[in-house]
Structure 1
Amino acid sequence: MRGTGVSDEDGFYEGLPLVDSFGALTERARFASLPETWWIGVADIIDSTALIEAGQYKTVNMVGAAVISAMINALKGHAFPFVFGGDGAGFAVAPGEVEIARDVLPKVARWAETEFGILLRVALFSVSDVRAAGHDVRVARLKVSDGVDYAMFDGGGLNWAESRMKAGEGTLDPAPEGSLPDLTGLSCRWSHMPARNGTILTLLAAPLPGAQPEKVSRVYERIVTLTQQLERGGHPAPVSGPGADWPPRGARLEAHAARGQGSLSRAWAKALFESLIAWFLIRTGLRPGGFDARRYARVVGENADFRKLDDGLKMTLDCDPDTQAEIEAILSAAAEEGLMGYGVFTQDEAMMTCIVPSILTDDHVHFIDGAAGGYTQAARKMKASQAF
């Protein structure tokens, strides 16, 4: 997303070139190290696996996306690198923006606990601390459509920060009761997206300590090349975009984000009414005031982040059985070679959580995860495999 309102100390992020091919990101030269003065923020839901096993997968995704939504609104649309992790998020900010992050993160933690009883860990670390620990934070920008690009991360810095946060370092306490982040635009109205080619495959793969970066990149390249042979590169959304059922499953969650200190039932009714209009326009093709809901749905699919590099390879793919077997064989061989740990999880559907500042522009962002908690479940499997 692009905009103005907060100064970027040296124009670092906005000055990065846009990469228009995900496969090109397997070339490490595409990434640039963050300036020493920058900061990174991380957030993670405590015991997200238990929440997902209790059926709260959409709530988990909503809370993870809320971190990014609140930062986007607080920075008034100014471009900054961020990444959605399913049950959390990571981002980086220039030094002039760190106090904004220090204000926003505790508010999101308080909101998650007040609205859902979910405990969200949040923390900030300086890039200089990351480098002192022997890691780096390197960033690239992937252009996924004419309206949206997403940050990709490399160097191990975000993973290090998350591990230190879980150890109790750098953490920020929740804001006082009654504190609210601005979550304008946060929603999850779209229907789940059923697999068209066999299964929705969620995969995580991350380098093991001491692994040679060049060998890791070659493994990523093999997997990305393989997935490019899938329909639409494995994109879970069809060309026409995700479907819209009514009533939407996520209307009540959206109400929790939108109500502020107002009535939950009133916010829920508003979300239901707005989603009914959207459902009707998509079904009929009518264009009131020139707004084309079917085009909007197509752009939603184009803007979605179904694959990313986040100190590792993360993908949610519509995948056939043969390709899945080949992917797992590549990952297994890489694990045996001591290059990386990995986890895969399969489910029947994918789901989407959205941040939509305006339906009249094309800069809305959409985060895809497996509809049974794919990223969280894959991470659990990866941790279990590394315990032996």
Structure 2
Amino acid sequence: MDAAPDTSGFYENLPLQDRFAVLADPGAYAPLPDDWHLGVADVENSTGAVADGRYKTVNMVGGAVISAQINGMRERIFPFVFGGDGAGFACAPGQIARAGRALAAVRCWAREEFSLTLRVALVPVRDIRAAGHDVAVARYRVSPGAEYAMFSGGGLSWAEGQMKQGLYALPEAAPGTVPDLTGLSCRWSDMAARNGTILSLVVLPEGRAGPAFARLAARILGIADRLDRGGHPVPAQGPRNRWPNPGNRLEAHASRAGRSLMRRRLSLLGRTLPAWFLFRSGIRLGRFDPRHYAAMTGANADYRKFDDGLKMTLDSDRATVSALRDLLDRARADGVARYGMCEQDAAMMTCIVPSPLRDDHVHFIDGAAGGYTAAAAALKRG
């Protein structure tokens, strides 16, 4: 009997796409191997947490799912996507057990640190296809130093639905289990809208819209491209940095590893003060160039993505919001797509920085007052 083929290098061997518009075409995606798994996670009742003013915490937990996987994969690249109140990723057969332990650890940490319930699951790609769905991925190079995965086929959404029904659940981690969240932070200030509003937009295909949804996505991107810098919410020179940084408490929760929260907060205040001075003054320190780092922060930001649909966080003017709403209302009436929007005054950022001396740091963008969670809730209301 022949040995099963080694699929562990599937993702890293995919071609890198440099143009985001190309990703509206389903032909830009490659199907995941059958022996891979999808990991999914989301914060239960995230809408309620947002209503309580805890959206930055919800975003931090979603970022923690990816951070724990990055640290567990030990420098091996893999596809992942940030969803605001959760995340999704795919892993090769040799990484499944490690991925499950990391998911369970983040679930334990979210409960013990923030009293948030994080639902998690690992779903075999074979099961997704047996249910009539597919999972395909593409690699998008957002800058010379960073890339993000895009997902299509409906399989990720199906896996999330199964998770919410309590299927494919993982064993509980022991109380006190702490995930490795090295590099997870949220030190930048929120970014105020420059053009009028920060628009969080979630657009999902209705049924098997196929080519019609691809054409719709291309039209949405065309409208967004008319905005200054395509609606990118992060200033070209990078976001503002202030001290004490607004994410000090959350970063302390992520990095204290069972130690005193207050002591960790004080330690971070001391460590971030010199960094604040460098960003404020622009002075280089050795190999660290604060102006270059800040500019790369904006260049590496994931303000738009395909995640079994199209999600965008745009710095938009009123005319563009109206044009998008008119287009999407017609698409909904035609049975092509359903959508949700959330308008707010600012965008926020959650970051994973393996090293400040490299350009591969990644930055997850969302609206600062509900964002993708509120947009998804509006979508559910129809």
Confirm or deny that 1:38 pairs with 2:36: yes
Confirm or deny that 1:20 pairs with 2:18: yes
1:10–1:104 CA distance, 2 compared to 1 (3 A): closer
Equivalent residue runs for 1:78-93 within 5 Å: 78-93=76-91
Once the 2 structures are TM-superposed, how far is the Cα of residue 287 of structure 1 from its aligned partner? 1.1
Confirm or deny that 1:326 pairs with 2:290: no
| 3-state SS, counterpart of residue 12 of structure 2 | coil
Confirm or deny that 1:291 pairs with 2:288: yes
Q: Does the 8 Å CA contact 2:287/2:357 hold for their aligned counterparts?
A: no
Confirm or deny that 1:70 pairs with 2:36: no
- State the distance in 2 between where 1:383 and 1:195 align: 26
What corresponds to 1:166 in structure 2?
164
Aligned counterpart in structure 2 of residue 191 of structure 1, from 189, 192, 197: 189
What corresponds to 1:177 in structure 2?
175
- State the distance in 2 between where 1:273 and 1:17 align: 43
> CA offsets per residue over residues 28-58 of structure 1, 9 Å max, x none?
1100000011000000100001101101010
2:142 aligned partner, one-letter code = V
Aligned counterpart in structure 2 of residue 227 of structure 1, from 218, 224, 227: 224
What corresponds to 1:335 in structure 2?
332
- State the distance in 2 between where 1:221 and 1:356 align: 32
What corresponds to 1:3 in structure 2?
none
Aligned counterpart in structure 2 of residue 372 of structure 1, from 365, 369, 373: 369
Equivalent residue runs for 1:201-216 within 5 Å: 201-211=199-209, 213-216=210-213
| 3-state SS, counterpart of residue 289 of structure 1 | coil
What corresponds to 1:274 in structure 2?
271
- State the distance in 1 between where 2:295 and 2:164 align: 39
- State the distance in 1 between where 2:177 and 2:334 align: 49
Aligned counterpart in structure 2 of residue 126 of structure 1, from 118, 124, 127: 124
Q: Does the 8 Å CA contact 1:40/1:92 hold for their aligned counterparts?
A: yes
2:29 aligned partner, one-letter code = F
Residue range with higher mean Cα deviation, 363-372 or 281-290: 281-290
What corresponds to 2:104 in structure 1?
106
- State the distance in 2 between where 1:22 and 1:304 align: 13
Q: Does the 8 Å CA contact 2:8/2:94 hold for their aligned counterparts?
A: no
1:146 aligned partner, one-letter code = P
Once the 2 structures are TM-superposed, how far is the Cα of residue 285 of structure 1 from its aligned partner? 1.3
Q: Where do 5+ consecutive residues of structure 2 fail to align?
A: 1-5
- State the distance in 1 between where 2:193 and 2:273 align: 25
- State the distance in 2 between where 1:266 and 1:294 align: 30
In the superposition, the TM-score normalised over structure 2's length comes to 0.97
What corresponds to 1:305 in structure 2?
302
Q: Where do 5+ consecutive residues of structure 1 fail to align?
A: 1-7
Q: Does the 8 Å CA contact 1:9/1:96 hold for their aligned counterparts?
A: no
What corresponds to 2:45 in structure 1?
47
- State the distance in 2 between where 1:371 and 1:148 align: 23
- State the distance in 1 between where 2:218 and 2:346 align: 26
In the superposition, the TM-score normalised over structure 1's length comes to 0.96
Q: Does the 8 Å CA contact 1:41/1:125 hold for their aligned counterparts?
A: yes
Equivalent residue runs for 1:220-259 within 5 Å: 220-259=217-256
Percent of matched pairs sharing the same residue: 56
> CA offsets per residue over residues 284-338 of structure 1, 9 Å max, x none?
1111224111111110110010000000000000001111111111111100001
Q: Does the 8 Å CA contact 1:137/1:154 hold for their aligned counterparts?
A: yes
1:230 aligned partner, one-letter code = L
| 3-state SS, counterpart of residue 37 of structure 1 | coil
Once the 2 structures are TM-superposed, how far is the Cα of residue 366 of structure 1 from its aligned partner? 0.4
Once the 2 structures are TM-superposed, how far is the Cα of residue 76 of structure 1 from its aligned partner? 1.0
What corresponds to 1:4 in structure 2?
none
Runs of 4+ in 1 over 6 A off after TM superposition: none
CA-based RMSD of the aligned residues comes to 0.9
- State the distance in 2 between where 1:135 and 1:196 align: 40
What corresponds to 2:3 in structure 1?
none
- State the distance in 2 between where 1:86 and 1:30 align: 25
Q: Does the 8 Å CA contact 2:202/2:372 hold for their aligned counterparts?
A: yes
2:294 aligned partner, one-letter code = A
